[in-house]
Amino acid sequence: MSPARVSELPPGVQKVPADADLDYVIKLLKRDGGVFVKGLVSEEDVDKAYGECKERLENDMEWDGTFFPKETQRAPGLIGLSPTYTMTQVMNPLYKAICDSFLTTRSWFWWGEERKESVSKPYIHSCTAMRIGPGGKAQPLHRDDYIGHNIHTEVEEWDDERDKNRETAAGLFVAGCKVTKENGGTAFIPGSHLWGNDRKTPPDPSLCVHAEMDKGDAFIMLASAFHGGGTNSTQDQKRMMFATFVTRGYLRQEENQFLAVPPEKARQYPREVLEYMGYSLSDPACGTVEQMDPIYSILPELKAEAKYKDF
């Protein structure tokens, strides 16, 4: 089935199959700021990932503040806890391709008389599981890119040239159980990624759609869009969700992967996962150790090939 023309779709957030055409999904994100993907991860992998982080969730401390209700339990540092989550969610090919499209930075610089291009690739921002317990109140609606001090001007619609550096991060939420409005499905304002920071009124909750997902379904979102965990008004359901964020290679990670994931755990992953965690350079020269690629520090067996190179 060929996808409908994006401009002819009704407003709101669309639901696409896991094998949807990448360009189509990117167009939906540019229009709406978010998209649901049916069955992105198998139920079996979701259950396995849950098993790998359950103990950490159960032992989480209560949050002291309003960002999370006290009923929400988290498991941060998820790459160190759950190889299944890492390989099936963080490294998911569709999510990775979306992040590459929105978050790769290409710039030209004079280098003496040469004009050099530098390409900084995206890397992991944060990896957390979240379980909202019965009675948990909705989070304040927020933009996750406030973390990176990303200030937006209001635009009518996405423009590829003007907006190529507009986004600083993109998120992947995967349902760890059946997610409903009643058990705290993420609230999201379609199109709010286009809003300016100078709006005089706060985000209006009545504009929200709520994530309604089966286990293994995903919600992919630009970090500039207003959203928040919903109220869990059930008596007995725990809303389980995995949240992954990826950011631009030269911005500071929300969750420090070098300290959040013990090096002995990190070393068990393939090199491409280590590079995505930040054991790689953001070109031209962010993240060096001994003025070289940090991969040699985590995988010293590669050191024989190490040499100094121009930035």
Ligand X SMILES: O=C(O)CCC(=O)C(=O)O
Contact positions vs ligand X (CB under 6 A): 130, 139, 144, 186, 227-229, 241, 243
CB of 162 to Fe ion, least distance (A): 25
| Residue among 24, 29, 27, 26 at smallest CA distance from 13 | 29
| Residue among 181, 64, 185, 176 at smallest CA distance from 129 | 176
Nearer to Fe ion, 20 or 147 (CB): 147
Size of the site for Fe ion (CB under 5 A): 1
Nearer to ligand X, 27 or 215 (CB): 215
CB of 228 to ligand X, least distance (A): 5
Sheet of strand 187-188: strand arrangement:
209-210, 187-188, 227-228
CB of 63 to ligand X, least distance (A): 10
Q: CB under 5 to 8 A by kind: which of Fe ion, ligand X, none does 176 bind?
A: none
Q: CB under 5 to 8 A by kind: which of Fe ion, ligand X, none does 69 bind?
A: none
Nearer to ligand X, 63 or 296 (CB): 63
CB of 43 to ligand X, least distance (A): 19
| Residue among 208, 203, 70 at smallest CA distance from 132 | 70
Task: Tell the residue number behind the tokens 């393939």, with chain if given.
Answer: 270
Q: CB under 5 to 8 A by kind: which of Fe ion, ligand X, none does 244 bind?
A: none
| Cα separation, 116 vs 112, whole angstroms | 10
Nearer to Fe ion, 144 or 254 (CB): 144
Q: CB under 5 to 8 A by kind: which of Fe ion, ligand X, none does 194 bind?
A: none
Residue 78: both structure tokens together: 């998820």
Q: Give me the residue whose beta carbon is nearest to ligand X.
A: 229
CB of 143 to Fe ion, least distance (A): 8
Q: Are strands 114-120 and 227-228 parallel, antiparallel or unpaired?
A: unpaired
If residue 293 lies in a helix (H) or strand (E), which one and from where to where? Answer: none
CB of 221 to ligand X, least distance (A): 9
Which distant-in-sequence residues (6+ apart) come within 8 Å of 141 by Cβ? 187, 189, 202, 203, 205, 208, 226, 227, 228
Nearer to Fe ion, 125 or 238 (CB): 125
Q: CB under 5 to 8 A by kind: which of ligand X, Fe ion, none does 186 bind?
A: ligand X
Sheet of strand 15-17: strand arrangement:
15-17, 34-38, 218-222, 169-175, 239-247, 123-132, 72-75
Single out the residue of 32, 144, 167, 254 in contact with Fe ion (rule: CB under 5 A): 144
CB of 173 to ligand X, least distance (A): 6
CB atoms inside a 10 Å sphere around CB 20: 18
Q: CB under 5 to 8 A by kind: which of Fe ion, ligand X, none does 130 bind?
A: ligand X
If residue 59 lies in a helix (H) or strand (E), which one and from where to where? Answer: none
Residues that bind Fe ion (CB under 5 A): 144
